[in-house]
């Protein structure tokens, strides 16, 4: 990495927040009549992209009108999964962005492609929902930050950190901010689960792209590609960036992949808050532990996509279960913001959350303590 200079978090978030919640006319925001459906294109027609697009297509306020992928089998299977008949199909994402009849795009390509595609979508003045993470290295994160800063304030830039939109997380955050668990002392987070990816045989010319998950330069490794969800929640709830990190990891099962299958990182946040983070993708089916834990002087909050628990005492535990997959909340909010002309721009914030993953990854790879200031120069 070359230039690691980065403004302070306050400067970053202040710049990124400008105009985020400005209210303008719905026609100006969408570039189409307010009572027409939002026309959405999917860029990256794999499993995750098709799942996201299916939620959007079932929303009465929007419809999927175009699919973009380099591979015909992906285009065909995606159309079936989404339930869309005769969508326009593209092989080149630039042509999607040049289409005047498309209001918004979902970007669900391999992570290394996210920075250039998000930046191009911003410049094409489309509303953007980009899957996490925000790139696989610091240069990519800086591209995201720059794109967010120059974006049209009337356009929505949302990111697939769906915990930010989940009712159980929002309730837990409200209790935290209201001081219901007192001052935070420590926190923990984990993503312990099965291997989510199976390597397949492809022509050598496309093998790496189609098995992108297996390669750290395409996926960012598991602490970036998957664990960024936990790290974004820590960024959100602790309302700060970490000071330093030290960690370890390795491969016990997936010895043929260029990525870790287990890791442990200890982060230090400001005010001496220590966060233990653990992840693996080797646990046999039947057991998983995914979520976060915030311990305060008066109680503890446990958060996950399935539920939140507020432990006040041995005899007093509040539990609220999620009613559905919170990805629905994230994508429905994206459409809602478009149709009501209330856009958000979370590009910078999301890039910073991704950078927490880069910090931990560097600590694991080098076996050394890595500081935020030393790694990023800010």
Given a cut of 80, whether residue 21 has pLDDT beyond it is no
Given a cut of 60, whether residue 33 has pLDDT beyond it is no
The verdict on residue 3 lying in a domain is no
User: Residue 203 has which token pair?
Assistant: 């022509």
Given a cut of 50, whether residue 301 has pLDDT beyond it is yes
Extract the runs of DSSP E, i.e. beta strands, from the chain: 38-43, 62-68, 88-90, 104-107, 127-130, 157-159, 184-192, 244-250, 262-269, 273-280, 289-296, 300-303, 307-313, 316-321, 370-371
Q: How many domains does the chain have?
A: 2
The verdict on residue 282 lying in a domain is yes
Same domain, 108 and 51: yes
- How far, in Å, CA of 373 to CA of 60, rounded? 47
Same domain, 109 and 182: no
pLDDT confidence tier of residue 17, bands split at 50, 70 and 90? very low
Same domain, 117 and 128: yes
The verdict on residue 111 lying in a domain is yes
Given a cut of 50, whether residue 126 has pLDDT beyond it is yes
Please report, for the domain that includes residue 202, its CATH number: 3.30.360.10
Q: How far is CA 36 from the centre of its chain?
A: 29
Provide the CB-side half-sphere exposure for 353 (13 A, CA): 28
Summarize the confidence of residues 341-356 as an average pLDDT: 98
The verdict on residue 74 lying in a domain is yes
pLDDT confidence tier of residue 320, bands split at 50, 70 and 90? very high
* Per-residue pLDDT tens digits for 69-101: 999 999 999 999 999 999 999 999 999 999 999
* Per-residue pLDDT tens digits for 168-217: 999 999 999 999 999 999 999 999 999 998 899 999 999 999 999 999 99
Boundaries of domain holding 284: 164-323+358-376
Summarize the confidence of residues 121-138 as an average pLDDT: 98
Summarize the confidence of residues 286-302 as an average pLDDT: 97
Provide the CB-side half-sphere exposure for 369 (13 A, CA): 8
Same domain, 133 and 81: yes
φ/ψ of residue 157, rounded to 5: -120, 100
- Kindly state the DSSP code that residue 160 receives in the 8-state scheme: S
Residue 215: predicted pLDDT: 97
Residue 198: predicted pLDDT: 86
pLDDT, mean over the chain: 92
Same domain, 248 and 303: yes
Give the pairing of strands 300-303 and 307-313.
Answer: antiparallel
Q: Which residue has the higher pLDDT, 308 or 27?
A: 308
Same domain, 44 and 189: no
% of the chain residues with pLDDT over 70 = 91
Structural contact between residues 349 and 11, judged by C-beta atoms closer than 8 angstroms: no
The verdict on residue 350 lying in a domain is no
């Amino acid at each position: 990495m070359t230039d690691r200079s980065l403004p302070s978090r306050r400067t970053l978030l202040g710049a990124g927040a400008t105009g985020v919640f400005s209210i303008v006319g719905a026609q100006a925001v969408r570039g189409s009549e307010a009572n027409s459906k939002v026309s959405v294109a999917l860029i990256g027609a794999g499993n995750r992209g098709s799942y996201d697009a299916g939620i959007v297509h079932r929303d009465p306020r929007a419809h999927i009108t175009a699919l973009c992928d380099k591979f015909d089998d992906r285009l065909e299977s995606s159309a079936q999964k989404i339930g869309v008949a005769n969508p326009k199909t593209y092989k080149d994402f630039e042509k999607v962005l040049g289409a005047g009849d498309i209001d918004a795009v979902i970007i669900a390509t391999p992570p290394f492609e996210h920075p250039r595609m998000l930046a191009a979508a911003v410049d094409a003045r489309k509303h953007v929902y980009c899957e996490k993470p925000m790139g696989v290295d610091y240069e990519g994160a800086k591209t995201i930050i720059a794109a967010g800063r120059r974006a049209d304030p009337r356009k929505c830039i949302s990111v697939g950190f769906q915990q930010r939109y989940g009712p159980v997380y929002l309730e837990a955050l409200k209790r935290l901010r209201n001081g219901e668990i007192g001052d935070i002392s420590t926190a923990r987070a984990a993503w312990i689960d099965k291997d989510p990816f199976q390597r397949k045989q492809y022509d050598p010319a496309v093998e790496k792209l189609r098995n992108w998950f297996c390669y750290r330069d395409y996926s960012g490794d598991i602490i970036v590609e998957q664990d960024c969800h936990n790290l974004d929640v820590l960024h959100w709830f602790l309302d700060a960036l970490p000071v330093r990190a030290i960690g370890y990891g390795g491969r016990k099962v997936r010895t043929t992949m260029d990525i870790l299958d287990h890791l442990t990182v200890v982060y230090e946040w400001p005010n001496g808050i220590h966060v233990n983070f653990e992840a693996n993708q080797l646990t046999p089916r039947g057991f998983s532990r995914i979520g976060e834990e915030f311990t305060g002087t008066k109680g503890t909050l446990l958060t996950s996509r399935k539920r939140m628990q507020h432990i006040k005492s041995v005899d007093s535990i509040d539990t609220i279960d999620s009613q559905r997959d919170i990805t629905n909340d994230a994508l429905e909010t994206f459409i809602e913001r478009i149709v009501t002309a209330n856009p958000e721009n979370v590009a910078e914030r999301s890039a910073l959350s991704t950078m927490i993953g880069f910090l931990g990854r560097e600590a694991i790879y080098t076996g050394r303590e890595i500081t935020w200031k030393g790694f990023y120069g800010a």
